[in-house]
């Protein structure tokens, strides 16, 4: 079992000194990865329902959140670390140009020595899409196509792609990633997300809980599309009871991600970098799970 930290560009860790302390302590303790989230803007009094809270609002209804851009935050942290990996959970992919995003992610992966995982989601806040000038209603189709276009830019000798939204011929995007290709981790607690992970993901991270039915759906979808279901890496949130970690392993989860600030309903969280050293023993205990 691998252990990650989430969501590291929130709370006190929007500030450089605190973020560096957190990530360096995590690396020293044996955490494999640090994960970020994204909202470029949060329009005040949005009406779109947040799917992960009964209130329909994220952050208990607070709109004026400090939330650094995840790729820039990750770039800063990569410069002060050497082994810990960095992931987005999630980057709202249809809000971005896939060509520009491919360049940014490949550059970070190249400079960090292959330490990037790109977690993607389709987004839920129409008002944010409107403010950015991105298309909301076709965001699912755009997400699928954008993934294919980015992989072409990352891996092809002479990248060429023709789709509904993106077209380019013999278009070089250098440097390419240090990895063969940057892993695409699909996020989302829905059947649509699980199917997307099965169709095109290198991993699946529902973010809340460990829904066995969604993991199974991702595997079945992979088989239906001629893909190896065992090649999809499953991540899950830390359970409240650490003794349940072996149960996650039995479901096929290979990464458990620990919150770095207390979340609603979350009994176990790291509330200060000072608490991280004790996790070295926990990581060692469950490393072979």
Per-residue pLDDT for the chain (289 aa), expressed as one digit of tens each?
Answer: 999 999 999 999 999 999 999 999 999 999 999 999 999 999 999 999 999 888 999 988 889 999 999 999 999 999 999 999 999 999 999 999 999 999 999 999 999 999 999 999 999 999 999 999 999 999 999 999 999 999 999 999 999 999 999 999 999 999 999 999 999 999 999 999 999 999 999 999 998 889 999 999 999 999 999 999 999 999 999 999 999 999 999 999 999 999 998 665 566 789 999 999 999 999 999 999 9
Cα 146 to Cα 154: distance, rounded to the nearest angstrom: 12
Does the pTM of the predicted model rise above 0.95? yes
Considering the domain 2-286 in this protein, what is its CATH number?
3.20.20.30
Closest CA to 86 of 173, 167, 196, 182: 182
């Amino acid at each position: 079992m691998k252990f990650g930290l989430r969501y590291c560009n929130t709370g006190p860790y929007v500030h450089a000194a605190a973020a560096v302390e957190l990530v360096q302590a995590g690396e020293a303790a044996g955490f494999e990865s640090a994960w970020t989230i994204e909202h470029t803007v949060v329009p005040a009094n949005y009406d779109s329902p947040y799917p992960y809270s009964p209130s329909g609002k994220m952050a208990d209804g607070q709109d004026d959140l400090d939330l650094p851009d995840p790729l820039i935050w990750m770039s800063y942290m990569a410069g002060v670390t050497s082994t810990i990996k960095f992931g987005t959970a999630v980057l709202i992919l249809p809000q971005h140009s896939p060509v520009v995003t491919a360049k940014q992610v490949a550059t970070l992966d190249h400079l960090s020595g292959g330490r990037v995982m790109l977690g993607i989601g389709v987004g839920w806040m129409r008002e944010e899409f409107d403010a950015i000038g991105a298309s909301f209603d076709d965001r699912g189709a755009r997400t699928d196509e954008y993934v294919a276009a980015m992989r072409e830019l990352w891996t092809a000798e002479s990248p060429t792609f023709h789709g509904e939204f993106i077209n380019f011929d013999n278009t070089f995007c250098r440097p390419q990633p240090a990895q063969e290709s940057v892993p695409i981790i699909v996020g989302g607690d829905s059947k649509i997300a699980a199917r997307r992970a099965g169709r095109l993901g290198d991993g699946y991270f529902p973010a809340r809980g460990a829904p066995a039915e969604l993991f199974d759906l991702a595997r079945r979808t992979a088989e239906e599309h001629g893909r190896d279901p065992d090649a999809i890496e499953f991540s899950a949130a830390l359970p409240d009871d650490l003794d349940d970690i072996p149960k996650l392993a039995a479901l096929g989860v290979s990464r458990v991600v620990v919150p770095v600030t207390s979340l609603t309903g979350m009994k176990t969280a790291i509330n200060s970098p000072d608490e991280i050293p004790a996790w070295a023993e926990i990581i060692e205990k469950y490393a072979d799970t």
